[in-house]
Amino acid sequence: MTYFTNSFIVPLICFIIALLGGIYIGKTRGIPFVLQKKEWSIGIYTGETPFSFAPLEDAKNPVLTAKDITDVEAEFVADPFMVRELSTWYMFFEILNIQTDHGDIGVATSSDGIKWEYEGVVLDEIFHLSYPYVFKWQNEYYMIPESYQSGSIRLYKSTDFPKKWEFVTTLLLNGNYVDPSIFQHDGKWWIFSETNPNGNDTLRLYYSDNLTGSWVEHPKSPIIKENANIARPGGRVLIYDKKIFRYTQDDYPTYGNQVWAFEITELTTTSYNEKRVNKFPVLKATGKGWNGLRMHQVDPYQISDGRWIACVDGFGKQLVLSLRD
C-alpha cells in the first residue's frame, strides 16, 4: 500500500468522508481513500523552563513523520536527539525500517529549529538501533544508540559529521541495556540504563573515569526497581544551573504515556539521591492528533533569548491518502 499526502487533496477528501460518516471513498483497485493511521512522529516544543513545554507556535507539528523518510520504507520515526553546530541544527532519531523490521538511525537538519529537512540514514546495523544519544566531547561527536538486541552498550564516533559514524568500542556487555543515557559529573562519566525491558521498571547506574572504560556498576544500583512510572530514560540528562536532571518516560499503565523530570541531588561513587522536579509531567499526551495518545522523549536546549526549545516525540492518529492495491 502506497501512502501520500497533499495539502489540498487530503483536507478535501477528509471533508467528504466526514459527510459520508467516515466511509472509504473507493473500494476498487487504484481508487484513493483516506486512512487513519497510528504512528510515532517528531515535533518541536518550547518552554520558559526545561520542565514545562508546549507546542512551538511557528512549528507545523509534527515536523518529521514516516512519510518524510525517502531512502528506506519507514513505519515510524521516534527518539529524537538534537545538537547545534555553528548555525545548523542536527536531529538524530530512530527510523523503524519496514523491510528489515529493525531501527536505523537517521538525521535531519534545520537552520531555525522549526523547519527540518531529512538527510538520510547515517547508521545501520544487523540489529535494532534506537535512542541515538549524540554528544560532543573534546571537539568530536559521539553517539551511544540503544543496541539492546546486541546485549551491549556501544560507542560510535563521527568521522564525517553528521553522516558517517564508526564503531569505537563496547562500554558494557552481556546485559539488557535499554535507552542508555550518558553524562559527565565531578570528573567522571555516568550512564543510566533501563535493564528490565519486559517491565521497564528497573534503572541501573554505572560510572567510569574514562569514556571508553572500564565501567563499574554503582553500589546503590539499581536506583529504581519495580516502578515502571519512573525507571526508563526519556531523553538527555541535563546539566543546568549547576544541577543534574534526568528525564524518565512513564510506562505504566501504558508504554510511553508521559515524561517526568527528576533532580539528582546527590551523586558520588557511593551515594545517590534524587527528587521529582514537579507534581506534573514535563510532557503528556494531548488527547488528539499526532501526539494524542502518548509522548515519551524530550531533548531540550536553551536558546539565546533564554527560552528552551526541545525535540519531542508523540504517538497518535494521522490521516493519510492511500491507493488501494
Provide DSSP, 87-122.
TEEEEEEEEEETTTTEEEEEEEEESSSSS-EEEEEE
The β-bridge relationship of strands 188-194 and 203-208 is: antiparallel
List pLDDT tens digits, range 137-164: 999 999 999 999 999 999 999 999 999 9
Comparing CA positions, the residue from 118, 120, 169 lying closest to residue 147 is 169
pLDDT at position 217 is 98
pTM value surpassing 0.75: yes
Q: Can you give the CATH number for the domain in which 44 is found? A: 2.115.10.20
List pLDDT tens digits, range 271-322: 999 999 999 999 999 999 999 999 999 999 999 899 999 999 999 998 766 6
Could you give the number of structural domains in the chain?
Answer: 1
Rounded to an integer, what is the distance from CA 197 to the centroid of its chain?
A: 17
Residue 289's domain comprises: 2-323
